[in-house]
Structure 1
């Protein structure tokens, strides 16, 4: 037990190193993860060479599984956004909804858009629509802004091909098709429930227009340039739906075959599925973008991918160090006395994710780091790893605040004060995190 306590102590010091370097000295998070990995390996007795080997193996292993898919996913989303396809999807969802359900439809549109694109892109696309919709429904600003924050945050956190849920299947070693199915189903239900709960809070007088809205901002609600002839919503959905169908077919095939035939295994692989989705996005974007514009859009997407890949790989390095030191078993020994306690595992993963997100401000760091720590823990418990992923990610969804770039994007573009940002971005994501946790606990005892 004393050795377990020392390992937990070294992990705690590693986290202090990450947080101190990232917050006080403003180091890049990927750099802090590598430094923390070095400390953790050496302090735990792995030795100098073994520590470096583990870091290299962890980084390379995760990049082997995720490097190309993440890059393709970002390009896919960028092409959908720049071509105006994302705008078409949003308007189509809203135009097919009655006024009573319009704000819920707005949340659904935000959820759909944030599957292929990052949170900030989905938010920027939808803010102009949200403001107009709020005025038509005679609802204060936080109703419409909260709906798009909730939908975008939940989808970005739970549904591949965004980095965290895409990494979950590799880190915790389960079928990606299951992550797509569970992430989509749980995420959509959680989005609708969270919107309802958040609206109930707003109805109780939670919002104060004078204190929570910043009237001094000139460009209060943001703008978006949409091409004059964007692809239809149906066309724009093809690159989003097609890869998911291909990956899920592989999961379905495994039910009927001991080993999927080569053709199914090939076309259901995440690289091929996302490659075909990206090619579909490239050709569909031709309706509104020239070849040069599409090439530029792809290049810009790849530039944005670099930091995501670096953080993801560094998280893999940290995870490999944790695996080789045996700290996963130490966590079981200390925090989970009953090795069959599903609820204990879920709660440990959840609160660890909350801690990382609250302190670092990064949902990506919170999710990937928590899942790597919990990867070994989950193998000793009768629980499907998808629920460990969901618990980790729901914790990483919680309590984004002033050290989170998404907080400032949503606050400033929507024209809110800091207090208003806390009442929209932070509060709505906190509710969403608890809702996903509640569904996860139920799901883990059923499936």
Structure 2
């Protein structure tokens, strides 16, 4: 896999732009990162399998939820999701049952009058969440259908409905994080804020007694495990978060009680100094040499008036830190508008804010590619044109929605 990746990057002359890679936590992806690092020249590419390989946050959220739901399945008395799944399968398998469901059981004055119960999607963690969400949306319809003998075995009692509400409240923030990081415009500058969001949620919900409290404690331990793994890539996360004007360095003063503020600032200032000294627009010349043909010897008046006005180096970082943190919809557009104010920081933003926080957006493209590849009569040029047209259509749709 690493050989195909390298050959593709070389083919399109993209290898000099390689900053890092992002994938889920599967072992084959870890091996891919190791092989890639072994095949790259360390003198020209600062890539290693640990510090520059980013874990997909959507996959982390999925693994945390999967662990909690697995624990839930161990409680024999709690088979709510299984009941709702089997009910959906029973109705959907028969055209006669589906027709009767639409005609006899749905309340005609309800807004949601056409939706069936959802079935479980084994490949998606949020399939269980969507089953519960749909059940609440069509609760009255389900109450009507359970009056029929053939569906009575799937009925939920009052205690189970309360558990449905609790599970939705537990899983909803993870669903929110998953949807957020799946957006093509998302990058790793929001990874630490999303971790903080999930930690705070689990901490709050763990105060509940019984099964929900147990699930929260398990989920929190699992989340800590994956959060701890991000320490080796902390340099990337630190710089990206600080470069997000919605959070800035102030985020680390509140994140985990300010534990990482100094580490974040040290990493960021080190990277800032590196970019400042390697700025391609920076003039490298002897300061005593003059290249201005119009320059002349200072007059007595100018020397007398301006001798106290010593030149001062403008520290972009210090000025940027004084920027007020506020929620910004498009941070890349913000940096484009402030590029003249912060030229060095803007260069850093182009690099660090281009790192996606999740690989799900690209995985969707690969899935679409599999469907297209199965059309055996399509040639390579036509497949490329199909993908290009689809990408342009998606981009225009996203722009129009904004």
TM-score relative to the length of structure 1: 0.25
TM-score relative to the length of structure 2: 0.28
Which protein has the bigger helix share?
1
Mark the structure with the bigger radius of gyration: 2
